[in-house]
Homo-oligomer: A and B are copies of this chain.
Amino acid sequence: MNATLRNVVPEQELLRFYEQMFISREFEERCAEQYAKGNITGFLHLYSGQEAVAVGATAGLHRDDYILSAYREHAQAIVRGADPRRVMAELFGKSTGLCKGKGGSMHLFDPSLNFMGGYAIVGGQFPIAVGLAFASRYRGEDRITACFFGDGAVNQGTFHESLNWAQLWQLPVLFICENNFYGIGTEVHRSSALASIHKRTCGYDIPSEKVDGMDVIAVYRAVKYAAEKVRESGRPYFIEATTYRFRGHSMADPAKYRSAAEHDVWKARDPLPNFARKLLEDGIATRDVLDDIEAKCRQTVDEAVSFAEESPWPEDSAVWEDIYV
């Protein structure tokens, strides 16, 4: 196992995975706190539990590759490199936020990182991802587009139209479904006739596979392999990562539709402690090293909160800015 891990990923990378997962979790939990305090408002969808997907997938992509996601995207933005301070400031609605406070939690965006947005309309990002991939090919860029979405999004018309289109035009899109088994309160088999989501690509001749989304290494390997396939072939590929959100859909949801037993099963598969255990068992890190990483993450998030608190509100005039060029 030790050998395997090290063979797959350099030691420093493994520690980075842990750090990224940890800061993602920490960030979300602090968001919940700030929401309770009234510093964050609106809809807030936390990613806790799904960290292995964002971290593994992002590591499997090139930095030039485009990433798009839905509204549960804080971790994806941060893992791609967004400054946690500016993400938190965005959530506070401050002018120093990633989108000047105009987007909020659901609409993070940073083109300097090729992070092409969080979208709040379920399924809205599919065609946009296809269009970005077309632009890359048209311009002769060596880049693919990774499009994240949830299990609930696969029944939108855009899913179908976009998968067909990506394959028809032979575009380099990597579709990554984060199947956390629920769209708000609706379990996947209650919204999808074929609940095994990766199988739904058969109607478009798009190759697909399922991966354990609680295992950061598995996600990393699958995405790395798939991304290279997409890059070489110029054609789409589809990954379903099975995972779980430990919290409700949003802060308004106590998630009573899930049993405690179900929750426990998944809690036992929490990617953070499990990956930490592996790192320790395999001798890749000592507890001290992990403690240092965790402390550093906590501090970063502390700073993010302070930064957000101290930042100014947008000027009134901002209302009229950024509509037209």
Contact = CB atoms under 8 A, between A and B. Distances in A.
Interface of A: 155-161, 163-165, 167-168, 190-194, 199-206
Nearest to A200: B203
A214 to B, nearest CB: 26
Given A156-B157, A167-B193, A203 B205 contact: no
A156 B159 CA distance: 10
Contacts of A158: 157
A222 to B, nearest CB: 21
Counted per complex, copies of this chain come to 2
Interface on chain A toward B: helix, strand, loop, or mixed SS? helix
Closest 10 CB pairs of A and B: A157-B157, A160-B160, A167-B193, A200-B203, A202-B202, A203-B203, A168-B193, A193-B204, A164-B193, A194-B205
A298 B9 CA distance: 78
A284 to B, nearest CB: 41
Contacts of A202: 199, 202-203
A199 to B, nearest CB: 7
Contact of A192 (B155, B164, B192, B201): B164
Nearest to A163: B193
